[in-house]
Amino acid sequence: MFFSGYPRIVGLSLFPNLTSLTIIAQDIKEISGLETCLLLKELWIAECFIEKIEDLQGCRNLEKLYLYYNKISKIENLERLIRLEVLWLNHNAIKNIEGLQTLKKLSDLNLAGNLISSIGRCLDPNEQLERLNLSGNQICSFKDLTNLTRLRRLKDLSLNDPQYKTNPVCLLCNYSTHILYHLPSLQRLDTFDVSSKQIKELADTTTMKKIMYYSMRIKTVQRHLNEDLEKLKDRKSKLQKLPEERIKLFSFARKNLERELAELKRSGKWHSDRSSNSKVSKFENSKSCETVAEEPSLQQKMLIKLNALNERIAFWNKKIDEIEAIYLIERKQKKKSHSLLIPFLLIELETVGNIHFEEGTRSDDWFNSCYELILSRFCTWDFRMYGITGVKVKRVVKVNNRILRLKFEDKFQKFLDNEDMHDSESYRKMLECLFCVFDPEVTVKKKHLLQTLEKGFKDSETSKLPLRKEAVILTNSLSLCECPRIEFLQQKYKNEKKNSLDPELFRHGILLITKVFLGRSVQAQEVDSISQANYPMVNSVFIPRKYLLRQRNCDCSFRQCKWFVFDHELVLPEYVVEFEYITMVKAHSLYSSFNNIILEESKKNSEGLILSHDLKLDDEVMKMEPRIKPRPKLISLDDKTILSIARTSVYSHIVSLNLHGNSLSKLRDLSKLTGLRKLNISFNEFTCLDDVYHLYNLEYLDASHNHVITLEGFRGLMKLKHLDLSWNQLKKSGDEINILCKQTTSLLTLDIHHNPWQKPTLRLSVVGRLKTLTHLDGILISEEETTAAMKFINGTKITQFSLLRHSSTKEERPRVLSTWPSAKILTQFSKSGPYSHLNGNWHLKITALNLDGQNLFEITNLEKLENLKWASFSNNNLTKMEGLESCINLEELTLDGNFISKIEGISKLTKLTRLSMNNNLLSGVEKHTFDNMLHLHSLSLESNRITSLIGLQKAFTLIELYVSNNYISLSQEIYNLKGLYNLVILDMYGNVIVWNQENYRLFVIFHLPELKALDGISIEPPETETAKDLFGGRLTSDMIAERQGHSNFTQMQELNWTSSSIRTVDLIPVDQFSNVSNVNLQNNNLTSFSGLIYLPNVK
């Protein structure tokens, strides 16, 4: 019906067989009268005044529905139209995509020209969708567009149709690239044909380059954090050196005294425990009153001194614990200060650079401006009561959010246009830099802060603060921003009945500085009445400080205000500032003056320093009577010496043997001491305990204070109940616990503290595996701890349950912009369950497996996972690469943070594209390891012990190589990479070659001209030219070594180097070329013969 003046639909009951109805440009305001049109397949009601979708329930055969150019505000009442294939709702007032869940056959959806700002997961049920038009809406997020990747059949997408206004997202950089990468099956985009293979490949290549670039930058951030943590660890070790030396001194003296006491007891001069204890207590009491009637006995003196030694050991142990506690606080703070940097880079990647974060330095004007702004808005009067004297800025990060900035500028311009206000001075006064006011009762969560920086302030905060949903709350005062937080913490401390507020709780903080357009602003009449409805004609309201905090006697308090801005798009987050308060109570720090004194005391004993009193006390204790004379140290042990020490003539009679405090590194065959029950070998030079074996009656062994690095060979001690291995050099927890499990089945007490163990979860592992233990490191093992340990141990094995829980069956890697391993991405987005549908071939469906942090000791039970493509086993206790031989389809393998010493067992994994083995114990890459890896693009071996790259000579497909923080020292190692023409990213930071090789960076750039980035820094064209000028045309020993394949020049007699564009000869060291007698340098560009005069035998 195209004639005019048709106000409502009537008379359709006369057409029961109607299949198509078209009504265009009428005055119809509602859909009605279609009850009898049961056969209707196509319906057009367009360019009318329809406000609601209704009365279509009976039209169940409807296949096409066109309701464009109406006034519809909500998609509803379509649930029963299950045959619908085409739905056009363009040019309406729809705000949300909803109500389409049941339309499974929908293939063409047009929602252009509406008010839609978000896609979300609303289209997920419409799997048959092929054409989608969302042009002319308010979609502004790249992340939101990735929701369309779940529409597998989508062929035609429009977000920027020329007939409509542009979505804000289409104005962003790399818009087309982002769409084409995430939706590779698209044939048309914004009415243009994008089916060309070259277009898709270009999008893929561009995106992969960006992922590689951000992966490199994230690794650089992680490396800097690890360096900082390593410095803290070194500092801690230096600080603990003095206490450790003191503990060793007193422990040595204590064990000497214990030996003397034991010998005294054996000689028969020992009094009963009861009498001696009473005498000691009487003596101690009488000593304080100076009424001792008689000189204490030798036994009493020994016990008194023993008690004093134990007190000094306890004192210095406490010092070690204090330093450890400070170290853990600083470590946590250091990690926290870096915790935002990697999420910032991930946001940059996910938004394809449309949100960019820049860390400032003193050389940046904006950094200094932020610093000055904070100082100018810090009021000493307000913070004095909390013991705060100043504020120090630690880091400033500039936020460049193109999405939010476009919205801000658009709103700002509209305001100016409406106000007709073009006077720059007038609108400049309305722009302010204000601090965001966070909820004082909630710590600023990283997730919330990132959400605000990315999406702005709209619904970004769930807060107890009143008015938060009505307006964005801001202030120009650090006092109004921070004092409520400190007050809350103070009150919390009082409620917990703690003595005083620890400044560490509030010392560190975060500020968010925003650029704000206040517009028309008035002072609020009442705080509770602040809402847009009560102030309809203004953009913001403010409350002076006098209504909020106690007034101070300072000028700045009159200028302090809190603002409430109603339009969140007029508040632009610009800077994130990490700061620290300067307090009267100095911060606990490994670098504090007190700890500097500890460090100095460990070098020299200075009388005037703080610890001198304790060192004097130490000396007094050491000089207490009786003073034990040192015994001659044994270097070796023979039968005669053993019998002499044991004071017996028969081996089988020896029950206790004390070899403490000698210089022994080996023991004679002790297995003949069949009656030995107690053995003390503390304070010797043992590196292993392989001489301690088959002592079937041994119950007590003290091997503390040695240099034991392994328990290998330690066997046959089935009755051993007490074992002390403290103060040694044991590292590999897995190996040592395995040995103890097998060889010491009756162990009750074990002491293994003060060893450089590589894993922090050691205690649970030991308790769970040594089930007979009652004490570990001197601490009683509780029932709760035993239960937790057993649970921990049960989780260290790969079972069917763990495989299903941590796997995915997705056949394709999701197209997401992330640097995470694919296994992590897939298992996070989709688990393989549910378990109830398991069948005999469930293992063949698993494609991704993520077993990070499961405390695994070995990889097992993967034999049937033939279709596994992506696997990650990071942060476990693995010592070998095993159990992967059957996973021949593996494409990505991650084994970071384990104890693997050799790359092996991967010869059949020929489809591998990415291998990561950072933070292991690899000492090298053997030849031919990667010869069969014809698809390997990325190899990461950071933080290992690799000395040579010779095993990479044939890894021709490598694009990225990360070998930072290894032991590579020779410049010749670079030559092993010269055949890798695809290599564009190389990271060798932290290797010795960086410092040893003169002009290292230019040297690498010259020899690997295809590189685009080195050590986390892009290579610029001027650097390439400089490298050519510096190293081009020089005949050096490195060039000769590269051609010959070795660097032994002493046997060389002939030097034949023609037509090689050589300008200079620079053979160093000269003496290695002393036997060269024949030189041929024809057809070169020699400008000087000076380099040849050092070859004395040239004729």
- pLDDT value of position 278: 42
DSSP characters for 202-226?
A: HHHHHHHHHHHHHHHHHHHHHHHHH
In a domain, residue 344? The reply is no
Strand ranges across the sheet with 64-66 = 20-24, 42-46, 64-66, 86-88, 108-110, 131-133, 156-158, 188-189, 192-193
Burial class of 794 by CB neighbour count within 10 A (0 to 12, 13 to 18, 19+) = exposed
- Say if 153 falls within a structural domain: no
More confident residue, 722 or 811: 722
For residue 729, how many C-alpha atoms fall within 13 Å in the half-sphere facing its CB?
10
Question: Are 57 and 34 in contact, with CB atoms under 8 Å apart?
Answer: no
Give residue 836's pLDDT. Answer: 42
What per-residue confidence (pLDDT) applies to 574?
Answer: 95
**What pLDDT, on a 0 to 100 scale, did the predictor assign at position 313?**
94
pLDDT at 274: 43
Query: 766 with 750: CB under 8 angstroms?
Result: yes
Q: Which of 999, 1030, 1061 is the last residue of a domain?
A: 1030
Out of 63-77, 464-478, 599-613, 670-684, the most confident range is 63-77
Whether residue 6 lies inside any domain: the answer is no
Q: Are residues 461 and 488 in the same domain?
A: yes
660-680 pLDDT per residue, tens: 999 998 887 777 888 889 999
Quote the pLDDT of residue 496: 64
Decide which of 728, 762, 794 is a domain's last residue: 794
Nearest to 452 by CA among 443, 462, 465, 440: 462
Q: How many domains does the chain have?
A: 5
Residues 565, 646 share a domain: no
Name the helix (H) or strand (E) containing 806. Answer: none
pLDDT of residue 1098: 72
pLDDT band at 1091 (very low <50, low <70, confident <90, very high): low
Residue 294 in this model has a pLDDT that exceeds 90 = no
Are 600 and 734 in a shared domain?
Answer: no
As a whole number of angstroms, the distance between CA 211 and CA 205 comes to 10
Task: Judge whether 892 lies within some domain.
Answer: yes
Of 585 and 164, the structure prediction assigns the larger pLDDT to 164
Q: How many CA atoms lie within 13 A of 938 on its CB side?
A: 20
Kindly state whether residues 789 and 806 are assigned to the same domain.
Answer: no
Residue 628 has pLDDT above 70, yes or no: yes
The model's pTM is 0.82
The residue written with tokens 């046997």 in the block is 1051
For residue 69, tell me if it sits in a domain.
Answer: no
Residues 6+ away with beta carbon under 8 Å from 856: 796, 797, 798, 873, 876, 877, 878
Domain boundary among 601, 630, 659: 630
Query: 551: pLDDT confidence band, cut at 50, 70 and 90?
Result: low
Count the Cβ atoms, other than its own, within 10 Å of residue 139.
Answer: 19
Query: At 546, phi and psi to the nearest 5?
Result: -60, -20
Strand arrangement, sheet containing 472-475: 355-359, 388-401, 571-583, 508-517, 431-436, 472-475, 561-565, 540-544, 521-523
Instruction: Answer whether residue 482 shows pLDDT above 70.
Output: yes
pLDDT class of 607 with cuts at 50, 70, 90: very low
* β-strand pairing of 722-724 with 749-751: parallel
Residues 882 and 963 in one domain: yes
CB 338 within 8 A of CB 225: yes
Q: Which of 770, 884, 873, 876 is nearest to 823 (CA)?
A: 873
pLDDT of the residue at 891: 95
Residues 652 and 751 occupy one common structural domain: yes
Residue 760: predicted pLDDT = 66
Q: 868 and 846 in contact (C-beta within 8 Å)?
A: yes
371/454 same-domain check: yes
Residue 833 pLDDT greater than 90, yes or no: no
Tokens 């295809």 — which residue?
1010
pLDDT in tens, 348-375: 999 988 999 999 999 999 999 999 999 9
CATH number of the domain residue 495 falls in: 3.90.228.10
Compute the distance between CA of residue 808 and CA of residue 824 in angstroms, rounded to an integer.
10
Do 657 and 602 share a structural domain?
A: no
pLDDT of 318 reads: 92
What would the two tokens of residue 912 be? Answer: 């591998």
**Among the listed ranges 172-186, 496-510, 651-665, 953-967, which one has the minimum average pLDDT value?**
496-510
Give CA–CA dist 95/116, Å, rounded.
4
Contact predicate 65/106, CB 8 Å: no
Tell me the CA end-to-end span of the chain in Å, nearest whole number: 108
Q: Residue 1045 pLDDT more than 80?
A: no
Buried b (16+ CB within 10 A) or exposed e, 945-968: ebbbbebbbbbbbbbbbbbbbbeb
Out of 272-286, 403-417, 1063-1077, the most confident range is 403-417
Q: Could you give the C-alpha distances from 140 to 116, 171, 407, in angstroms and in order?
A: 10, 9, 9
What is the pLDDT, as a whole number, of residue 190?
Answer: 93
**837 pLDDT tier (thresholds 50, 70, 90):** low
Report helix, strand or coil for 754.
Answer: coil
Write out the DSSP string of 902-937.
Answer: S--S-TT-TT--EEE--SS------TTTTTT-TT--
The residues, ordered by sequence, that sit 6+ positions from 576 with a Cβ below 8 Å of its Cβ are 340, 396, 397, 399, 449, 453, 510, 511, 512, 513
Beta strands in 506-547 (DSSP E): 508-517, 521-523, 540-544
> Is residue 330 located within the same domain as residue 235?
yes
Looking at residues 701-711, what average pLDDT do you find?
A: 94
**Inside any domain, residue 891:** yes
Please give the mean pLDDT across all residues of the chain.
Answer: 85
Q: Are 481 and 465 part of one and the same domain?
A: yes
pLDDT tens-digit readout, 992-1016: 999 988 889 999 999 999 999 999 9
**What separation in angstroms does the CA of 206 have from each of 343, 1011, 1087?**
22, 17, 45
Q: How far apart are CA 454 and CA 389, in angstroms?
A: 34
* Residue 75 contacts residue 89 (beta carbons within 8 Å): yes
Structure tokens at 943: 């933080």
- State which residues form the domain around 882: 800-834+842-1030
- Cis before 7? omega within 30: no
Nearest CA to 84 out of 66, 67, 68, 61 is that of: 61
- Choose the weakest-confidence range: 7-11, 381-385, 500-504, 926-930: 500-504
**CATH code of residue 994:** 3.80.10.10
809 & 939 share domain = yes
Q: Which residue, chain included where needed, has tokens 């010779």?
A: 950
Q: Is the pLDDT of residue 493 over 80?
A: no
**Tokens read off for 538:** 């203004």
Own/partner pairs for 968-974, CB < 8 Å, 24+ apart? 968/992, 968/993, 969/993, 969/996, 970/996, 971/996, 971/997, 971/1003, 971/1038, 972/1038, 972/1041, 972/1042, 972/1047, 973/948, 973/949, 974/1003, 974/1004, 974/1007, 974/1008
Confirm whether 954 is domain-assigned.
yes
Q: Is residue 622 domain-shared with residue 715, that is, in the same domain?
A: no
- pLDDT score of 492 more than 80: no
Residue 279: predicted pLDDT:
41
- Banded pLDDT at 536 (limits 50, 70, 90): confident
The three-state DSSP-derived secondary structure of 650-662 is: CHHHCCEEECCCC
Specify if 930 maps to a domain.
yes
